[in-house]
Structure 1
Amino acid sequence: MDAIASSIAALFPLGWIHYLAGGLLIGAGVALLFVCTGLVGGMSTVFSSTWSFVVRRPFFQQARFTDSRVWRLVYAAGLVLGALVWWLGFSDGTPGSTDIPAWQLLLGGVLVGYGARLGNGCTSGHGICGLGSLQLPSLGAVLTFMATAFLVANLVGSFA
């Protein structure tokens, strides 16, 4: 039992309860959105539908983006507001920082965006909403996301 406790402590040096609480809140939020409205709350579509306000290219002007962009923008604003409430109410008030260079953050963001577009959804869409509604393609997407993440983390870790 002590080996398990020390393994958990090594994996989660700041504790694990807040991760569990966050996961439960995210799951409850997307479930509530679906039960109350029948809408699926994946974030890559929120991103694309928001761009449909300003980018006139045909891809962004598809009905699936333009017809849902108002509620999706409100949904995204709720996520930002929730983060702000957490930061003001539960953190020490100092902004977070990272030692990762800006170019690596930018490259990571571009690759994640490209992957979300290539996979027809992101981890929140497939992993939370898709798996929650037992969609088989989402299972394949999540397994691909996780395998890629494990591979990249090990490759990057071996160069560090």
Structure 2
Amino acid sequence: MENFTPVSAAIGGAMIGLSAVWLMASAGRIAGISGIVGGALDAGKGDKLWRWTFLAGLLLAPLIVGFFDASFLEIDFPTTGSLLVLAAVLVGIGTQLGNGCTSGHGVCGNARLSIRSLLATLTFMGTGIVTVFIMRSLGGV
């Protein structure tokens, strides 16, 4: 968080919120990334075009930004590759257990005043706080 700036964070948050509202208003869909990916990969789903377009936007937007200023894309993960893979697998399992991810529950579900989403978001945040505490206590991060 050394480079945190409230203005860029507010602009980014507003853009995420506006895109979630746009998807709900135009397609009647919730902008939950795990649900979008799951539906894009599900052979039985017939509404794949918007899903793949959404996912393409998630991948292309940073590439376009990086074309103008590559320093925006620099990320430093203070952990090893195997721990990062384990974390990704655990997040995937958590999205299945919680019926969604932080974007679906934290952004869209809470905006709709869903109790399930509020509880899921509190669980995500609490688990993240405990994980950071444990990792720092063990000297891992």
TM over 0.5: yes
C-alpha change, 1:97 and 1:154, in structure 2 (3 Å) is closer
Alpha-carbon distance in structure 2 between the residues aligned to 1:136 and 1:94: 35
Amino acid at match of 1:126: H
C-alpha change, 1:90 and 1:19, in structure 2 (3 Å) is farther
SS at match of 2:137: helix
Match of 1:50 in 2: 40
Amino acid at match of 2:57: G
SS at match of 2:71: coil
Q: Measure how far apart 1:84 and its partner are.
A: 1.3
Alpha-carbon distance in structure 2 between the residues aligned to 1:134 and 1:25: 20
Amino acid at match of 1:44: S
Alpha-carbon distance in structure 1 between the residues aligned to 2:76 and 2:127: 26
1:14 lines up with 2:3 in the alignment: yes
Q: Superposition pairs for residues 19-98 of structure 1, below 5 Å?
A: 19-53=9-43, 61=44, 66-92=45-71, 96-98=75-77
- Percent identity of the aligned residues? 32
Alpha-carbon distance in structure 1 between the residues aligned to 2:22 and 2:37: 21
Q: Measure how far apart 1:42 and its partner are.
A: 0.6
Match of 1:156 in 2: 135
Which digits, 9 at most, give the CA deviation of each residue in 1:68-115, with x for residues without a partner? 332111111111111212222243387545342110111010000000
Gapped regions of structure 1 (runs ≥ 5): 1-11, 54-60
CA RMSD of aligned residues (A): 1.8
Count of paired positions: 138
Give the conservation status (yes or no) of the 8 Å contact 2:65–2:72: no
Match of 2:119 in 1: 140
Alpha-carbon distance in structure 2 between the residues aligned to 1:94 and 1:73: 23
Amino acid at match of 1:113: G
Structure whose CA Rg is larger: 1
Give the conservation status (yes or no) of the 8 Å contact 2:39–2:51: yes
